[in-house]
Amino acid sequence: MKTRIFTLAALAFLFASFTACEEKEEVTETKVTLGAQENTATDGFYAVSENKTYTMAEAGDDQTNVDIFCFYELTETVLNYTCLASPGSNITGIFTGEDAPENWATTNVTMFYQTTLTADQFDAVQQEDALLYSSFVSADARKKAKDVQVDQVWSFKTSDDYYGLIKITAVNHGNDGTVSFEMKSMHYLAPSK
């Protein structure tokens, strides 16, 4: 009888451990460089879940996966400078051609929030760190990260519930410029209440 109880308890423990491991999402750490709208050498679109960059034509063909793009805007009235934005940010007049995000049927909305985290705090974030999702403040989040600067840390949430942190590592302004960043992200479904 004791052996049977011990065996059942051991099996329950193994099942619970296996199930818990399946539910945990790995944190993805990656380095990305995106080009602005007139940069023909560097892809300008990015899919977080796929960890993949795209040209605008490729992104137009894979709209359902694209979460972030880079653009530059500086006019007499608009001072966005180098930005990260989502296809659902309603950016118009920046990209041209039939593959421009404003012509897409699917426009995912990724929200960005500029945190007060330092670059060192970003570097210290580890696997399953709550900062990956708790640093996102939805009430203050926006559809674009405007005027990104080196060492800024931005929190984000994609439309398919990927949360993460972006640390800006390099910015080259201009319509043909680039932005480079390190990103730590994970798929996170908030517990239901």
Regarding predicted confidence, which is higher, 46 or 193? 46
Per-residue pLDDT, 75: 83
Contacts of 154 (CB under 8 A, 6+ apart): 84, 112, 113, 114, 115, 145, 148, 165, 166, 168
Contact 33, 179 (CB under 8 A): yes
Q: Where are the domains of the chain?
A: 25-187
Q: Kindly tell me if the per-residue pLDDT of 64 is higher than 70.
A: yes
Q: What is the pLDDT of residues 106-124, one digit of tens each?
A: 999 999 999 999 999 999 9
Whether 8 has a pLDDT exceeding 90, the answer reads: no
Residues in the chain: 193
Q: Which helix (H) or strand (E) holds 47?
A: strand 45-47
